[in-house]
């Protein structure tokens, strides 16, 4: 009788235990990612490192990719799109340097991972996704994770989010071939935008665009990157 009870208890506890073990493995993988891919490459801002530690990247990819969620590469998400490599997420976040006073706009919600990292750091995050399926899923996921400072919209991010402008920071995670004028318009004076610009199907540069006190733009090329293209239309607001 006692043995039967013990066996039942073990059976009941096994799933909980294996979940706890895999959570611990994910946490260890996340810590390793931060040390080897972020810290050792020179990004040391403790607030950003803490945000990367908090956001469980494996929840933003499908089950088939969870084991690889903390690898040093981008991963496929649904609809033929990708979630950026952790280092690229870190660079883009650092470049616009969000803090609690800031309001930021993201173009290309995708899985919602970058939005979650931003939400750990900024006061408010506005994010736009053109693909309705991805938009719905990421909105649900971010809500289920308890983020209350993220607003999601389905539509063409080229147009920005005029009603919520100006933004202290803008992050574009899909590549247009020029800087969308509405985004320049919606960037606050003193604000920073980070955006990949594609010169051809294989050549893109990550650009920092600063709006100076005199309203002029200062553009700095950061690094070569490869993002999915920004597509136009499908504005389903």
Q: Known catalytic residues?
A: 84
Going residue by residue from 50 to 69, which x/- string records binding to ligand SAH, judged by CB under 6 A? --------------------
φ/ψ (deg, to 5) at 54 = -75, -40
Among 37, 93, 131, 198, binds ligand SAH (CB under 6 A): 131
Should residue 128 be labelled a site residue for ligand SAH when binding is judged by CB under 6 A?
Answer: yes
Among 37, 66, 81, 198, binds ligand SAH (CB under 6 A): 81
CA 175 to chain centre: 15
Among 125, 134, 179, 209, binds ligand SAH (CB under 6 A): 134
Among 86, 110, 160, 196, binds ligand SAH (CB under 6 A): 110
Should residue 154 be labelled a site residue for ligand SAH when binding is judged by CB under 6 A?
Answer: no
| Residue 195: partners with Cβ closer than 8 Å, 6 or more residues away | 170, 171, 172, 175, 176, 179, 183, 206, 207, 209
Q: How far lies 234's CA from each of 57, 131, 132, 237, in Å?
A: 28, 8, 9, 9
Least distance (Å) between residue 129 CB and ligand SAH: 5
Tell me the site size for ligand SAH, rule CB under 6 A: 24
Q: Which residues bind ligand SAH (CB under 6 A)?
A: 81-84, 107-108, 110-111, 113-114, 128-131, 134, 156-158, 173-174, 228, 230-232
């Amino acid at each position: 009788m006692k043995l039967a009870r013990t066996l039942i208890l073990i059976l009941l506890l096994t799933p909980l235990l294996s979940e706890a073990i895999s959570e611990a493995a994910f946490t260890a993988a996340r810590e390793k990612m931060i040390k080897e891919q972020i810290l050792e490459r020179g990004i040391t801002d403790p607030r950003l490192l803490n945000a990367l530690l908090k956001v469980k990247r494996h929840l933003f990819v499908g089950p088939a990719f969870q084991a690889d969620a903390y690898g040093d590469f981008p991963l496929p998400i649904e609809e033929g799109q990708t979630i950026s490599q952790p280092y690229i997420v870190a660079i883009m976040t650092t470049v616009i340097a969000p803090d609690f006073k800031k309001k930021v706009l993201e173009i290309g919600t995708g899985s919602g991972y970058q939005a979650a990292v931003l939400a750990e750091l900024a006061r408010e995050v506005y994010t736009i996704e053109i693909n309705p399926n991805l938009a719905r899923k990421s909105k649900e996921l971010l809500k289920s994770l308890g983020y209350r400072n993220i607003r999601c919209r389905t539509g063409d991010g080229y147009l920005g989010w005029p009603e919520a402008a100006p933004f202290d920071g803008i992050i574009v995670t899909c590549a247009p071939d020029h800087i969308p004028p509405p985004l320049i318009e919606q960037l606050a004076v003193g604000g920073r935008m980070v955006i990949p610009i594609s010169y051809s199907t294989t050549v893109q540069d990550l650009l920092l665009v600063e709006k100076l006190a005199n309203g002029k733009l200062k553009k700095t090329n950061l690094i070569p990157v490869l993002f999915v293209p920004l597509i136009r239309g499908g504005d389903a607001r």
